[in-house]
Structure 1
Amino acid sequence: MSGFVLRNGHIIDPYTGMDGIGDIYVTADGKISGIEPEVDVKRGEKPEVDQHRQHRCASLDVTGCLVTPGLIDCHVHAYEYVTPLGINIDKTCLARGVATVVDAGSAGSSTVPGLLKFIGEASQTRLFCLLHIARHGLADAGCVTCDGGGECDSLSVVDVDACVKTIKANRDKIVGVKVRLARNVCDQGKNEAEVYRRALQASKECSVPLMVHHSISSIPLGEENGLGCPGDLQQGDIYTHCFHGHIDNIVDLDTGRVNPHVWDAKRRGVLFDVGHGQGSFAWHVAEQCASEGFWPDIISTDLHTGSQAGPAYDLVAVMSKMLHLGMPAAEVIRAVTNTPARAIGKDQEIGSLTPGRQADITVLKLEDISQDLEDSCGEMRTLKKAFKPVRMFVSGTEIPVAAGMDWPNLDSVKACKARTAVFRADEIARKK
């Protein structure tokens, strides 16, 4: 591999504050050696050119493109062939501009060695993981809307000591704890509160974030006395699926506005993550949140076997949805680079174009389109702009970019509408 320079791209790096036209130099050993912007954004002056970098470099023209740190998808399910939800991360993430993924609880303390060895070591995509509080993780579990039972139906497998011991032995790759709070995966709600307490305890003992899936749950958003979610989450914890459309979503049913407990959590530093998935993004919820200036801190896909062919598709599709809602492009980039890197404690390694780091770089075009795109309820909105990955580098090695799926996938739309009708009827019946 020889060194190269990406020329004339619009570089956006929220970590350094770079937002302007410039060149990125990459060494033969796959590290960023320097950036030469037209204007140094921090000093407001043109920097001196480092002459040695101008020689013996292949020149790649990326005029008209956005050049960002390698994208990070902070919520996927990567344990292919072992869990029902597992996907091939090189084919579905890396080939679509994502350099790093965080597996969100596919494995627990008993099953994570296989995830790290047979997926992490075998993939070009960088893999970190959140350890499920249940020892077996999602080995026999699908979406929470399934009727087949769940990973926390028995408290005997919700093992704080095993979780803590495993995290402490693998801090380089295990970056947090994951729990799903939903009736269907916690013995119809009977175990939910205790499962939540144990997950909170494990994350606290290890000083790592807790990511919580919270929908179709018996636990409220917050209470004066008693457990709440995100009411009991702390700074740095992650509330995923923040725009889901189930009846217990973050928009208050009575006021039609974002619930005060949710605003309180955001103010104290709880991170809100899109976690789109198969059933966890509703246009009407996201639009209300956007109207109040409630933006996600992290944009992720919850990509798995049930969402990769729609309604999530890939990370750039979810990013495009947030852009459609009015989230500024630079903040969209922050939510898939610096913020997730910081959330998992890896912001000194990934999520930035800082010289000296591995050259994980995504090159995007922001295209004008007019295309409908579905949410998890089967509702459509017409997008006018979309991100498209055009070049991808991991540690300086170029990765071929694959064409994304055409959307909307009408089969996905039909399935989303059918699922939504069933669960809305069930939720209404529960509330009576």
Structure 2
Amino acid sequence: MFIDNKNLHYNMSHIDFMVKNGRIIDPANGLDTVADIAVNNGTILSIGNNAHFLAKETFDAGGCLVTPGLIDCHVHCYQYATPLGINPDEHCLSRGVTTVIDAGSAGSSTFQGLRKYVIEKCKTRVLSFLHIAQHGLAAAGCASGAPGGELDSLNAVSVEECTKCVMENRDVVVGIKIRLSDSIADGGKNEMEAYRRAIRASEKAGVPLMVHHSMSVVQTQVDNGSELGCPRDLRAGDLYTHTFHPYRSCILDPSTRTIHQDVLNAREKRVLFDVGHGQGSFGWTVAEICAQCNFYPDTISTDLHTGNHVGPAYDLPTVMSKFLHLGMPLTEVIRAVTSTPAKAIGWESKIGSLTPGKEADITVLKLMEDPIMLEDCQSQVRVLDKVLKPVAVWKAGDLHRITEPSPFPNLDAMKLNSREWDKILIKDKIRPELL
């Protein structure tokens, strides 16, 4: 299938650039073919045999994959204002990611700083899931190492203020975020009520809710029908992130190592399951058990922040590579970082595909076939036969430089993260031996 929009008006002879000879994978348009992409004035003109165009510049993508600009729907990029914040241009755009969604770094009282100093200044397209807590992740809990967290007081959890901020910033706020963990909610006392308020705010604002759920008093499998459950009480289109973490509140029953029925039911009603790899939220053993049941993620994301961009997450192509290793089909891996996240946030008309007329967000990836050892968040390792590496990226037609994580893999980070071994419930039988 080729796409060629005859209704677009452009110079038939001269264009800005062409990406040639690559294997184009564009799940939104059902494309998996070797073809060329013609781009002019930051916009995709056509896909197919573009011999009638004379390009000022040509990029030969022979032997590479050409995809829509990658979307990472869970990062933390409120740099300097929050301890977790990374620079998205340095750690995302330079790794092939043209759009990121900051997952709750800012709440209603701190959002204007995220907008002015990050969203408006970055070359990466930055969108936001607004935290239900007004101060977001400014400090406390896993955001700074201090005890406690953003839900210790329900005084800061306002449905009205959250909804108001979403409505006033609909151009960049695409959802609401809450973290459900007892250690950040006054020992779990505030989790249920904060969860109720987050659901209510997302309903009032008409946007999806993304839920971080680990080591929580909110049950993954609910036997008492009167209690709120997670993901049971999420709605179609909401996102359950950190899907493959191995801690308490895991999607697996630790005694049987089977997927909880409430999780399967949630998928049936179209709750979206997101990776949110992070520094502690991806376990090889959990992911392998899920893969054996054909339970793959709907969206693949990094949860990239200051604690994991040097390992174990590294970047989005690395996390994508882990799911390729687990047996997730290549086209589905690409779908999980392009069309599915775009549709989840209601931006499918703008991003997530190579449709002519859209901004030219294009990523070129190389599937490297050199075996490499890669760790999960607790430093269990697997040897991957193939790893995706970014080769080139254009955001709205502008070419940006590509970087690589260094070192990769990072043994120092592996030694640090292996300290979590005794806390995890679903794991290998043998503790990893690190150099």
TM range (shorter): over 0.9
Structure 1 SS opposite 2:363? strand
**Unpaired stretches in structure 1, ≥5 consecutive residues:** 38-48, 426-432
Q: CA deviation at 1:147?
A: 5.1
* Matched residue SS, 2:287: helix
Q: What is the CA–CA distance in structure 2 between the aligned matches of 1:17 and 1:60, rounded to whole Å?
A: 23
Q: Identity over aligned residues, as a percent?
A: 53
Mapping for residues 132-143 of structure 1, pairs under 5 Å? 132-143=131-142
The secondary structure found in structure 2 opposite 1:330 is helix
| Amino acid aligned to 1:10 | R
Report deviation, 1:56: 4.2
Displacement of 1:405 in angstroms is: 2.8
Q: CA offsets, 1:247-295, max 9 Å, x none?
A: 3211112321111110000010000000000000000000000000000
Matched with 2:4 is: none
Superposed CA deviations along residues 195-222 of structure 1, whole A, max 9, x for unmatched, are 0000000001111000000001011013
Q: After TM superposition, give the deviation of residue 424 of structure 1 in Å.
A: 6.2
Residue 33 of structure 1: aligned partner: 45
Q: Which amino acid aligns with 1:30?
A: G
8 Å contact 1:144–1:184 — kept in the other structure?
A: no
Matches within 5 A, 1:207-218: 207-218=206-217
Rounded Cα–Cα distance in structure 1 between residues aligned with 2:251 and 2:327: 19
For 2:400, the equivalent position in structure 1 comes to 399
Q: CA separation in 1, counterparts of 2:181 and 2:251? A: 15
Any conservation in 1 of the 2:371–2:384 contact (CA below 8 Å)?
Answer: yes
Q: CA deviation at 1:190?
A: 0.4
Native 8 Å contact 1:85 1:142 kept in 2: no
Contact 1:246/1:424 (<8 A) preserved: yes
- Report what 1:102 is aligned to: 101
Q: Does the aligned pair in 2 maintain the 1:133–1:199 contact within 8 Å?
A: yes
Q: Give, in whole Å, the separation in 1 of the partners of 2:37 and 2:143.
A: 44
CA deviation after TM superposition for structure 1 residue 2, in Å? 6.0
Work out whether 1:126 is the aligned partner of 2:122: no
SS in 1 for 2:176: strand
* Cα separation, 1, equivalents of 2:221 and 2:251: 11
Distance 1:244 1:370 in 2: 25
Equivalent positions of 1:106-185 (< 5 A) are: 106-143=105-142, 146=145, 148-185=147-184
Residues of 1 paired with 2:144 and 2:381: CA distance?
22
> How big is each residue's C-alpha offset from its partner over 1:361-412, in whole Å with a ceiling of 9 and x where there is no partner?
0000001021110101110000000000001101111001112333321111
What value does the CA root-mean-square deviation take over the aligned residues? 1.6
**C-alpha distance in structure 1 between counterparts of 2:242 and 2:33, whole Å:** 32
Alignment match, 2:328:
327
Residue in 2 that maps onto 1:93: 92
Shift of 1:59: 2.1
Q: Secondary structure at the match of 1:15?
A: helix
Deviation at 1:148, TM superposition (A): 1.6
Q: Helix, strand or coil for the counterpart of 2:387?
A: strand
- Structure 1 consecutive aligned stretches of length 4 or more whose deviation exceeds 6 Å: none
Instruction: Provide the residue aligned with 2:351 in structure 1.
Output: 350
Moved more, 385-394 or 223-232: 223-232
Q: Is the 8 A contact 1:31 1:359 kept in 2?
A: yes
TM-score by length of 2: 0.92
Paired residue for 1:69?
68
Deviations 1:152-195 (A, max 9, x none): 10000001000000101111100000000000111110000000
Aligned partners of 2:365, 2:263: CA distance in 1, in Å?
33
Aligned pairs (5 A) from 1:223-372: 223=222, 224-372=225-373
- 1:23 aligned residue: 36
CA contact (8 A) 1:372 1:407 kept: no
Deviation string, structure 1 residues 21-44 (Cα, Å, up to 9, x no partner): 0000000x110000006xxxxxxx
1:3 and 2:2 aligned: no
SS in 1 for 2:370: strand
- Whether the aligned pair in 1 keeps the contact of 2:140 and 2:146 (CA below 8 Å) is no
Q: CA deviation at 1:142?
A: 4.7
Q: Which residue of 2 aligns with 1:191?
A: 190
Q: Is the 8 A contact 1:70 1:99 kept in 2?
A: yes
Deviation at 1:120, TM superposition (A): 0.7
Distance 1:174 1:163 in 2: 11
Q: Which amino acid aligns with 2:194?
A: V
